[in-house]
Amino acid sequence: MIRALYTVLGSIALALGVLGIFLPLLPTTPFLLLAVFCYARGSRRLHVWLMSHRVLGPYIRDFQSGRGIPLRSKCLAMALMWPSLALSAWIMPVPWARWLLLIPGIGVTIYLWRLPTRPRGGPPESDDQINFE
């Protein structure tokens, strides 16, 4: 029963993490890390699948190992986040609430730039170095 609950929570976290790739105010990394945590306790098959995923796997492994994220990913996140926040502020009907959008924007910007940046020549961890145990 507990394993099934972890698997369901992991799937919800994964869905929110994937949505966070496209929605500027929804964080991707914490949800992906939560999904890995839940899958490790609920479903070994899903844990291995997520950790070896072609796109998400290297991102999660690099983050967990402290290797950071590529500069290109940081720049892309900023390039998508700030215009989305500006559009949201422009659409928002309550003028004083527009300024509140600066709080998550500045917070995410500081967080991203404080993360280690993976060196340009540093390839993601290869599949033969993955330890799923």
Summarize pLDDT for 1-22 with one digit per residue, the tens. 899 999 999 999 999 989 988 8
Token pair, residue 110, equals 């500081």
Residue 32: which residues within 8 A CB-CB, separation 6 or more? 13, 14, 17, 50, 56, 59, 60
Q: 26-68: per-residue pLDDT in tens?
A: 778 788 889 999 999 999 999 999 999 998 888 788 888 888 7
Three-state secondary-structure class, residue 49 = helix
Gyration radius (Cα) of the chain, Å: 17
Cα gap 82→97, rounded to integer Å: 16
- The pTM of the whole model exceeds 0.75: no
